[in-house]
Amino acid sequence: MARCAVQLRASFILAAGIVAAILQSAPAAAPTDALLPAETKAYMSIGDFPAAYATWNKTSFGRFMNDPLMKPFSDELDRQMSDANRAKSRLGLHMNDIKALAQGEVGWGYVHFANEKPATVLLMNIKGKADPAQAILGAVAKSLTSAGYKPRTVAQKGVSLTVYDPPAAAAKAKAQEQRTAKVYFIHDDLLCAAESLSLATRVATAVTGSPGAALNQVPAYQTIMQRCAKDAADDKPEGRWFMEPFGWMTARRIEDPSLISKKKPDPFDVYKKEGFTALQGLGGYVHLADNGYDLTHRTMAFAPKPYERSMKMVDLPNAAAAELAPPAWVTQAAATCTLSSVNMGNAFDNYAPF
């Protein structure tokens, strides 16, 4: 009997060790910048939403919103967010839904595939919140079907995508009022909500291990994030963001033609003609309640040379930190002080074409 007990105990320890090894070797959830396609024109990520929200509440902004005097306003805001028509919101989800479900990273992207309408997508880690997530998606389904959306199911590499196609009348509405398709899926601990079946399919393919070119492979994105990470050292940001300026504006003008200037020549076309498309990316890190400040941001513009035409005006030589110290005439009462290092002679020399 004693020998049997020893064998059982040994078997249990061996099994426990195998399970532990499997758990330790299980891949962590992929970051959202690895799941979003390279065609992402704007991106925002909160690495740990619950922790970031708690940190936000420590800032003066958060304390202001949580002040008892602000409670009637906050309660009314929450009510309006909860009662808002999901069928008219871009993704059918509201901030209260994110606060209720997010257990890790939350990422948002604005994506423009060639020959398609631009679309937004939300990716959210909902570990341990599968049942509440299904309840919220049930509320979304009720709102969408009541508004005339038609549901259907599409399978993609073992992932079941629920698609809600907009009613024909909504699809024919003028640009600012157009309603897009809405697509949802939950896979492992990830909830995805997208405005496009092709976009949701691309994410589902990446989630199941067959990613195409991803945002984190875009040179502008890589350079910006690496530089911000170097400057931040061990100081982890609550948020990260990225934008491809001309790609984003091109997509926005497709969505909303009212953004196209009626003046001729169109300033947007002038900027492109004069070489400003050399500005391939903007982005950075955002820190909350860090080193005595409510908010600190590190922002970088990625615009590799050589420059053409009027873009040559943008010559910003590196300056020593001491050279960028506020001059003596800036008083302590100043709300904002901005100092830049600019080669003004070069700017004047290249201004004529612009």
**Of the listed ranges 51-55, 185-189, 191-195, 231-235, the one predicted with least confidence:** 231-235
Contact 153, 183 (CB under 8 A): no
The model's pLDDT over 279-303, given as tens digits with 9 standing for 90+, comes to 999 999 999 988 888 999 999 999 9
Q: What is the mean pLDDT of residues 209-224?
A: 92
Which comes out higher in pLDDT, residue 79 or 44?
A: 44
Going by the DSSP 8-state scheme, the letter that residue 31 receives in this structure is P
- Residue count (the chain): 354
Which comes out higher in pLDDT, residue 19 or 98?
A: 98
- Residue 275 scores a pLDDT above 50: yes
Band (174; pLDDT cuts 50, 70, 90):
low
Q: What is the mean pLDDT of the chain?
A: 86
- Residue 54 scores a pLDDT above 70: yes
For residue 30, the model assigns a pLDDT of 87
- Residue 229 scores a pLDDT above 60: yes
Amino acid in position 335: A
**Of the listed ranges 11-20, 131-140, 153-162, 183-192, the one predicted with least confidence:** 11-20
Q: What is the mean pLDDT of residues 213-236?
A: 95
Contact 237, 287 (CB under 8 A): yes
Band (81; pLDDT cuts 50, 70, 90):
low
**Of the listed ranges 35-39, 196-200, 267-271, the one predicted with least confidence:** 267-271
Say how many C-beta atoms besides its own lie within 10 A of residue 239's C-beta: 18
For residue 21, the model assigns a pLDDT of 37
Among candidate residues 132, 180, 182, the one with its CA nearest the CA of residue 161: 182
For residue 11, the model assigns a pLDDT of 44
> E strands of the chain, at which residues?
40-46, 106-111, 119-125, 150-156, 159-165, 182-187, 190-194, 239-243, 281-290, 293-302
Question: pTM for the complete prediction?
Answer: 0.85
Give residue 303's region: left, alpha or beta (phi > 0; psi -120 to 50): beta
**The token pair that represents 315 in the structure block:** 């010559």
Going by the DSSP 8-state scheme, the letter that residue 37 receives in this structure is B
Band (186; pLDDT cuts 50, 70, 90):
very high
Sequence-distant (6+) residues with CB within 8 A of 121 are 36, 91, 108, 109, 111, 192, 193, 194, 195, 196, 199, 200, 203
Give one DSSP letter per residue of 305-348, joined into a string: SPP-GGGGG-------GGGGSPPTTS-TT-S--------HHHHH
Among candidate residues 168, 204, 158, 167, the one with its CA nearest the CA of residue 184: 204
For residue 124, the model assigns a pLDDT of 97
For residue 323, the model assigns a pLDDT of 85
